[in-house]
Structure 1
Amino acid sequence: MTRDNRWKMQEALKDVRFVFAAAKKDCPQLVFDDDGVFTISFDKHGKKGSGRTFLTSGGPDEG
């Protein structure tokens, strides 16, 4: 594809580790297949874990 963060599925599958490394270093990576697009992004954990983990474990009211 033309932009650095856009990939055709065949390109991404050649070395998926590179796609993940690019998402971690730069920005979300977009991988296109015949039906749509996958967005691969990276979020660092906070000091006490990720917000997703916190929210899916019940939040502050459930202990």
Structure 2
Amino acid sequence: MPQRAQNTPVCRDCDGFATAAITTGTRHRDGSRVTFRVDCHACKGTGNITRAAALARTGR
């Protein structure tokens, strides 16, 4: 199956996987694990970043 090129730049810190579910090790009464979600600090949970080169263009 062919893959299409991605138009938006992907975050270098999380590689586009901006949110992770982390288990605490404890369980709920029904037996499922207690988890909490953590967002990437660099992209703030979006998975995309703005290109720094486009923002810093100066000169001729």
Q: Which TM-score tier does this pair reach, normalised by the shorter chain?
A: under 0.3
TM-score, normalised on structure 2? 0.23
Normalized against structure 1, the TM-score is what? Answer: 0.22
Structure having the higher strand fraction is: 2
Which structure: greater helix fraction? 1
Larger radius of gyration, structure 1 or 2?
A: 2
